[in-house]
Structure 1
């Protein structure tokens, strides 16, 4: 068992208290940067607190009481953060709802949580609530972040602020008094797990979960107050929520913009020093760069540079720099190739953080070869996100690092990872039986993930316990390993779902990156009308088959992909095949394509 609890980590009583302390320390410094039209504008910490106080007062004026639930259904934007801080300063608890959630599920979450007020991004989000108003007796108001809607339950953001200012004029100490009454054990957030199977469960995270998260990452000495974060992650996900809470404790600035398709363009403008993301983002960047430098002299220079970069990896992982001829070669490689890649990302990136799913070692090494460090971390909604993260000064690629200060870990006899610490949830909302299944009486949380600790105490994730495949021949296969190797090998693959539980061999469903495969098709004079028609062409099948063969060479015999099918389009959140945090819902995909999967075995 690894125990890093050490000395008690002193922390504020609540998230709102963290905000107050941050303003006292650095009130005039930049806290946030966000887009107004095409222009980036800033908020200082004091301005942020003032706006949060007004929103909190507006909530109190509506009748919100301590630990009442206030839902936010919106994409990542500045108003999400302000609304959340307003909820925290009102002593209430935020219920997070993804904007992609269907109306029936929105109603379930709001009903199960007992949410009383909802911040809705626009009229479309508000209508999801109004369509189920008969089942939502607890709802007293819907606050529209943008747009207007004529309904007695609906008020605008501006109207909430107006009521808040009036409330503060009559009760000037109301918010400070409310914050003083918030206790560490009070509910702070209800995050409904997006769930790769079944209905979502509401994870109860108390104030102490978040304040601990802030001080533990600060003690880890990973991020400093002078850093600038680029934040695009969905704030309804625990990863995004954790980052804005960590920011309160450390005091760095954050540029907020939720558009995934604008990430690379915005990085060159914002010039951040750090960014967190899901593995899919890094995989796509790598694939696009490789596609753009795959031919002629440019391709030869590119391949030479990365070959040199890979030679330096063992040296740099030991904290040393290459010497002699290798140092000269790396300097040339950086000038010709790597510097341009770094410039596309703003030129100031100190590190990326990858979480929410497994990142393949091949992708991590590719970035590191170019001088871009991706620190893989690990945690779950039930552990307030970051329970493990790699050391910036001593990264071990292929692991998620050691536990953060204050968190304990042990590996069960069957290989399951068990976690204990202040970041662990108090339980599932309204589900004591489900809570008892994963949370022991002495505080150990069963993650459902399999892993092992190396000699340095760094954790290596094997796979999800429930995802582990057992073939009819009795061989166990970790699908994430197989999928990671193939995605890293092929720049045209977007997603892959490995299948084979109870089957004779492993098969796979594959989706292709529309831009990458279309570019390849045009370069090879293939005629097509859309992606669906393109993936049916024998030349495309032959192309992907070559990469599958290449990946299979790196796998054990029983892990190799014997047959595969290429789907006509990418798996999506809208179709229910992917969670909002970009995790594939394996069971949903296997159900949807069961006939196709059966066909991959019928020929035997």
Structure 2
């Protein structure tokens, strides 16, 4: 029987050793899956822990990890924990300026990076960060120090030293500093304790229909607290963790690994769905009609409803003729897909459920370690269009203005070096102010409706929730990114980045010569297409909420460009500034 733990690294003894698997972790190297056994993983962690001690790392020291997901990330994570140091995981794709700020703000002492490009970025940022003593690289890089240089061979005496140091680490000690990218200003370091993270994965464990016989595919960045917490949860259940090679190889990796579970962001599911639909429309004759019939059945599905004999019979045939291919594309074993970080379009949840692929949408934030609410698969306890019931041990209260307030053992210790901001976020009664607006449907299922600070008022005095509009209109196959504007203006307008792949396919079907993205956003027929999509969704909103004008953009918003956060949320202030003249022209 699994015993509750008090420090995250207790997972090594209570779960990794217990299940003793030959594939605790696996990654593909030079075309072959390399698996790491329980014994090998624990040995590597202990060797690095002792190596850290020998180079002078002490309890409370801050150690940064900048790397794509790979087993070395996890080895460093646990090695750092065992000596009482504090892990500071950072996104591989943020700027040198962000690294420089965080190195100084956290007082980073040691840095581990994945490859040569990250080594060079870290070296550049560390020039102005005097606390940084050394940078070690997982890959062997000419002129760079390799992390194996500090790994040491161990004997029984060394293990005794390590065990004594581990005893000094308490459940409420600082485990990690996670810098939230934020949509405005400098990143903030969220302080999470061992207890914060443990309480979260213990509360979520029963929501995951997996066990020690299962495999998980991981491709979201490990520095994101959700993926990291979920990996600890997998370990506690004995589930093997396989890392995708990169985002471009996910389809191949799904076929290879045949996972039972994976976590994702809605945009990936949208892209999977869009590709499937695009291929369906390429069919002709009876095959096309069968595909569209199955798709229509799926789009009307609800796992909570009984549709009767006729619908169920049709769905059975739809699965046999169409949806089974969807399952095969995901490896054939999926028990659950966890979706988070942004709103999941209800139509996607419906059609995947109809295809026999359960999708669970959840909600949280870094400051809550991170899960606050999640839909359940087994036993079934969900409502499509909501983020599900509140997790055990956590309490939610809806403030008078609609803001979601949260209290529980998962709430952060505070923001690092920012006591005033901490007081703003957590009130004197211990409630975390999420900044999200929501409500409890049926008194139980949390529904997010908008971000408190992103709601704006038109010149007519009407409040508009831009996120609601954006999430709805991005259901269009032809809209990739969108930001609604209109603060103090007569009406809402929008900046739109089209989904150029589907636009290209549409142009081909219409006999339109596709030249370039820059030219096509000016094409009258393309503009008419997008106008029709906007008009279609506008019908679902009040007149004062409807998007009256829009401008198409040829360049997608990226993290590198500064328009979106690493979790792909729009930086509204930055986008407003960058496209100031474009926005003003829509209101001339």
TM-score by length of 1: 0.92
What residue number does 1:391 align with? 376
Is the CA contact (8 Å cut-off) linking 2:210 and 2:237 kept in structure 1?
A: yes
Q: 1:299 to 1:508 in 2, by over 3 A?
A: farther
Q: 1:557 to 1:123 in 2, by over 3 A?
A: same
How far is the alpha carbon of 1:208 from its aligned partner? 0.8
Please give the per-residue CA displacement for 1:445-501, whole angstroms capped at 9, x wherever unaligned.
10000100122411100111011122222222222221122111x212111111112
State the distance in 2 between where 1:497 and 1:134 align: 37
How far is the alpha carbon of 1:221 from its aligned partner? 5.3
What residue number does 1:224 align with? 211
Q: Quick check: 1:346 aligned with 2:335?
A: no
Q: 1:227 to 1:555 in 2, by over 3 A?
A: farther
Is the CA contact (8 Å cut-off) linking 1:222 and 1:391 kept in structure 2?
A: no
What residue number does 2:321 align with? 336
Is the CA contact (8 Å cut-off) linking 2:15 and 2:236 kept in structure 1?
A: yes
Q: Quick check: 1:543 aligned with 2:536?
A: no
Is the CA contact (8 Å cut-off) linking 2:494 and 2:550 kept in structure 1?
A: yes
What residue number does 2:170 align with? 183
Q: Quick check: 1:118 aligned with 2:103?
A: no
Residues 431-510 of structure 1: pairs in structure 2 closer than 5 A:
431-488=418-475, 490-510=476-496
What residue number does 1:325 align with? 310
Is the CA contact (8 Å cut-off) linking 2:436 and 2:451 kept in structure 1?
A: yes
Which residue of 216, 222, 228 corresponds with 1:235?
A: 222
How far is the alpha carbon of 1:218 from its aligned partner? 2.0
What residue number does 1:143 align with? 136
Query: What value does the CA root-mean-square deviation take over the aligned residues?
Result: 1.9
Q: Quick check: 1:130 aligned with 2:130?
A: no
SS of 2:212 mapped into structure 1: coil
Residues 139-538 of structure 1: pairs in structure 2 closer than 5 A:
139-150=132-143, 154-161=144-151, 164-165=152-153, 171-220=158-207, 222-257=209-244, 259-295=246-282, 296-297=284-285, 298-311=287-300, 313-314=301-302, 316-318=303-305, 323-392=308-377, 393-488=380-475, 490-538=476-524
Q: 1:360 to 1:424 in 2, by over 3 A?
A: same
Structure 1 regions of 5+ residues with no counterpart? 1-8
How far is the alpha carbon of 1:29 from its aligned partner? 4.8
State the distance in 2 between where 1:370 and 1:256 align: 25
SS of 1:447 mapped into structure 2: strand
SS of 1:425 mapped into structure 2: coil
Report 1 or 2 for greater relative contact order, CA contacts < 8 Å, sequence distance ≥ 6.
Answer: 1
Which residue of 58, 68, 82 corresponds with 1:65?
A: 58
SS of 2:42 mapped into structure 1: helix
Please give the per-residue CA displacement for 1:326-373, whole angstroms capped at 9, x wherever unaligned.
222111111121111111111111121111112222322232232322
How far is the alpha carbon of 1:273 from its aligned partner? 1.2
Q: Quick check: 1:27 aligned with 2:27?
A: no
State the distance in 2 between where 1:587 and 1:599 align: 18
TM-score by length of 2: 0.95
Aligned residues: 583
How far is the alpha carbon of 1:45 from its aligned partner? 2.4
How far is the alpha carbon of 1:419 from its aligned partner? 0.7
